[in-house]
C-alpha cells in the first residue's frame, strides 16, 4: 500500500513539474487574465429583420443562459455606411487608470456602448469552481445600412485559477488548446451564427488566433438535435 502511494505521489509531482514548466509560471501562483475577442460579419439585405434577430439571439444563447435584448427603430433612411459600437467615455477613463488587464470582463461588457444599434443582444456565460474561475460576457449588435447589415459580436472573458490543483488543471488545458481556451466558446457562437445564416460573410476576427480555430471534427456537432444547448 505504501509503495503504491509513493508511486501515485511521484506521478502527481511529475505532472506538477511538467505542466508548471509548460505554463512558464509557478504552479502555485494565482493566474487571472482579462481579455476580449471580436468578430465582424456582413449580412445581405435580402435577409429579413426577424430572421436576422432570431439567428443572432440563437447564437448568443448557445453560451448565455439569460439573454438581454434591446431593439430600436429602423432608420427612416438607411445610411451609406454603417455605424459601430463605441466605448463609454466614463469607462475609457477607468481603463486608462486601471490598465487594460485591470478591467474585469464584467466592466468591459458594460463599457461597450451599443445604444446606437438597431438591435443588440448579450449576457453572461461561463462557469466557476473551487479551483478555477472563468467568466464570459457576450454582446452583439446589428447596424443596418444600404448594402445590408453589419453585425458585431464581442466576447469579454476572464480566465483564472488559484492553488496547486487549479493551476495544474489550467496548465493541462493550456498544453492542449493554448493560452486562450475561452476562444473556443467564441468560435462556437461564430459557427452557430454562420449555420443559421449560411451566406453570411466574416469581415474580421480578432485576435488572429480565433481565425485558426476550426471546430468541425473536434466534437462540436452543430447539426444535432441538441445544438441549441450550450456546451461547457
Longest dimension (CA), the chain: 79
Higher-confidence position of 180 and 209 = 209
Q: How far is CA 167 from the centre of its chain?
A: 21
Q: Is residue 12 part of a domain?
A: no
Q: Is residue 226 part of a domain?
A: no
Give the residue numbers spanning the domain of 111: 30-161+185-211
Give the 3-state secondary structure of residue 230: coil
pLDDT digits (tens, 9 = 90+) for 17-67: 444 455 444 544 556 778 899 999 999 999 999 999 999 999 999 999 899
Sheet holding 201-206, edge to edge: 68-71, 119-128, 132-145, 148-161, 31-44, 201-206
Q: Is residue 19 part of a domain?
A: no
pLDDT digits (tens, 9 = 90+) for 192-215: 999 999 999 999 999 999 999 988
Cell 475577442 locates to: 37
103: pLDDT confidence band, cut at 50, 70 and 90?
A: confident
Q: How many domains does the chain have?
A: 1
Q: Is residue 225 part of a domain?
A: no
Q: Is residue 140 part of a domain?
A: yes
**pTM metric for this prediction:** 0.72
Size of the chain in residues: 232
Q: Is residue 179 part of a domain?
A: no
Provide the percentage of residues in the chain whose pLDDT is more than 90.
48
Q: How far is CA 164 from the centre of its chain?
A: 26
Mean pLDDT, residues 82-87: 94
Angle of helix 183-196 versus helix 49-61 axis, rounded to 10: 150
pLDDT of 176 strictly over 90 = no
Q: Which of 15-19, 40-44, 214-218, 227-231 has the highest mean pLDDT?
A: 40-44
Angle of helix 163-177 versus helix 2-23 axis, rounded to 10: 60
φ and ψ at residue 136, rounded to 5 degrees? -130, 140
pLDDT at 35: 87
Mean pLDDT, residues 2-22: 48
Query: Are the C-beta atoms of 159 and 134 separated by less than 8 Å?
Result: yes
Candidate from 112-116, 186-190, 215-219 with smallest mean pLDDT: 215-219
Candidate from 4-18, 81-95, 105-119, 188-202 with smallest mean pLDDT: 4-18
Q: Is residue 3 part of a domain?
A: no
pLDDT at 224: 38
Higher-confidence position of 106 and 43 = 43
Q: Is residue 230 part of a domain?
A: no
Cell 468560435 locates to: 187
Mean pLDDT, residues 63-75: 93
Amino acid at each position: 500500500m505504501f509503495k503504491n502511494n509513493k508511486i501515485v505521489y511521484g506521478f502527481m509531482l511529475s505532472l506538477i513539474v511538467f505542466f508548471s514548466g509548460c505554463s512558464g509560471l509557478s504552479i502555485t501562483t494565482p493566474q487571472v487574465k482579462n481579455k476580449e475577442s471580436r468578430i465582424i460579419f456582413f449580412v445581405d439585405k435580402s435577409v429579413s429583420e426577424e430572421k436576422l434577430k432570431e439567428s443572432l439571439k440563437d447564437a448568443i444563447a448557445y453560451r448565455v443562459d439569460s439573454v438581454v435584448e434591446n431593439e430600436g427603430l429602423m432608420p427612416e433612411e438607411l445610411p451609406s455606411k454603417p455605424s459601430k459600437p463605441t466605448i463609454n467615455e466614463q469607462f475609457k477613463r477607468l481603463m486608462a487608470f486601471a490598465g487594460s488587464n485591470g478591467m474585469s470582463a464584467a466592466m468591459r461588457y458594460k463599457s461597450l456602448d451599443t445604444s446606437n444599434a438597431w438591435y443588440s443582444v448579450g449576457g453572461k456565460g461561463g462557469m466557476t469552481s473551487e479551483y478555477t474561475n472563468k467568466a464570459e460576457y457576450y454582446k452583439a449588435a446589428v447596424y443596418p445600412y444600404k448594402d445590408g447589415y453589419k453585425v458585431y459580436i464581442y466576447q469579454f472573458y476572464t480566465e483564472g485559477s488559484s492553488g496547486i490543483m487549479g493551476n495544474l488543471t489550467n496548465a493541462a488545458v493550456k498544453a492542449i488548446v493554448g493560452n486562450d481556451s475561452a476562444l473556443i466558446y467564441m468560435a462556437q457562437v461564430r459557427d452557430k451564427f454562420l449555420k443559421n445564416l449560411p451566406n453570411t460573410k466574416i469581415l474580421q476576427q480578432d485576435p488572429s488566433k480565433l481565425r485558426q480555430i476550426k471546430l468541425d471534427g473536434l466534437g462540436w456537432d452543430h447539426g444535432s438535435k441538441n445544438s441549441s444547448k450550450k456546451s461547457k
